[in-house]
């Protein structure tokens, strides 16, 4: 949604949502919230442990609950998890409560960025490339549908990407002033 006081980052694992989100938040002087970290904090367990004990369905339930809470806030940068767009109830929350930016990336970049990752259960596959391709096929149409703005990945560092995206957003995001929190 544009204008909006919130900035929501969507896109696949390894797109740099958390690192770029942190830098964008600094640039726009807003708090940055990482949805995975919020779920871990609330649950007291890592994403990997939640998947192990409760399965993906349990994780998605917790993710949706936090997403509903966080998208109700004003004046935040929210870095979502790659699958946060899946639950149908999450989509209007993202669409109607923030300026949604899709951080695109290539499978090559994802594989390179995630090469040492052992924390993402969905990457525990014999063929990571095939898994990432399959997720992209399923999810790209949803990212596209939700995005107010699409940023192509160029393979640059997160620092450079964040600077480039910040200047694009200066032009394209009509930033609404967040209402003062009521006490
Ligand atoms: C997931 C992405 C992860 C995390 C979980 C599931 C997904 O977040 O939420 O492992 O379904 O793509 P990142 O996109 O931040 O890696």
Task: Please tell me if the CB atom of residue 36 comes closer than 6 angstroms to any atom of ligand 1.
Answer: yes
Residue 178 is predicted with a pLDDT of 74
Residue 45 is predicted with a pLDDT of 98
For residue 3, cis peptide bond before it (omega within 30 degrees of 0): yes
Residue 155 is predicted with a pLDDT of 83
Find all residues with CB under 8 Å of 2, minimum gap 6, and list them: 99, 148, 172, 173, 174
pLDDT bin (cut points 50, 70, 90) of residue 183 is: low
Best mutation site among 15, 57, 81, 140 for ligand 1 pocket (most ligand atoms within 8 Å of CB): 81
Residue pLDDT, tens place only, 89-142:
999 999 999 999 999 999 999 999 999 998 999 999 999 999 999 999 999 999
pLDDT at 180 over 90: no
Task: Please tell me if the CB atom of residue 120 comes closer than 6 angstroms to any atom of ligand 1.
Answer: yes
Helix (H) or strand (E) holding 79: strand 77-79
pLDDT at 7 over 80: yes
Q: Whose CA is nearest to atom 8 of ligand 1?
A: 81
pLDDT at 66 over 80: yes
Q: Whose CA is nearest to atom 11 of ligand 1?
A: 83
Residue 111 is predicted with a pLDDT of 95
Mean pLDDT of the chain: 95
Q: Whose CA is nearest to atom 10 of ligand 1?
A: 120
Q: Whose CA is nearest to atom 4 of ligand 1?
A: 81
When pLDDT is averaged across residues 11-16 and rounded to a whole number, the result is 96
Residue pLDDT, tens place only, 68-93:
999 999 999 999 999 999 999 999 99
pLDDT bin (cut points 50, 70, 90) of residue 165 is: very high
Question: Which ligand 1 atom sits nearest the alpha carbon of residue 135?
Answer: 12
When pLDDT is averaged across residues 144-168 and rounded to a whole number, the result is 94
């Amino acid at each position: 949604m544009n204008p909006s006081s919130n900035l929501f980052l969507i896109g696949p694992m390894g797109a740099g949502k958390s690192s770029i989100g942190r830098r964008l938040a600094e640039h726009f002087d807003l708090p940055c919230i990482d949805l995975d970290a919020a779920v871990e904090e609330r649950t007291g367990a890592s994403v990997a442990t939640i998947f192990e004990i409760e399965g993906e369905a349990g994780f998605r339930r917790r993710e949706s609950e936090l997403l509903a809470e966080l998208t109700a806030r004003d004046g935040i940068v929210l870095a979502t998890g790659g699958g946060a767009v899946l639950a149908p109830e999450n989509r209007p929350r993202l669409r109607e409560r923030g300026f949604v930016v899709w951080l695109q990336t290539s499978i090559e970049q994802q594989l390179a960025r995630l090469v040492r990752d052992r924390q993402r259960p969905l990457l525990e596959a014999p063929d990571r490339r095939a898994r990432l391709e399959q997720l992209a096929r399923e999810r790209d149409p949803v990212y596209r549908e939700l995005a107010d703005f699409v940023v192509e990945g160029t393979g640059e560092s997160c620092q450079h990407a964040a600077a480039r995206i910040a200047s694009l957003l200066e032009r394209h995001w009509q930033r609404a002033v967040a209402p003062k929190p009521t006490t």
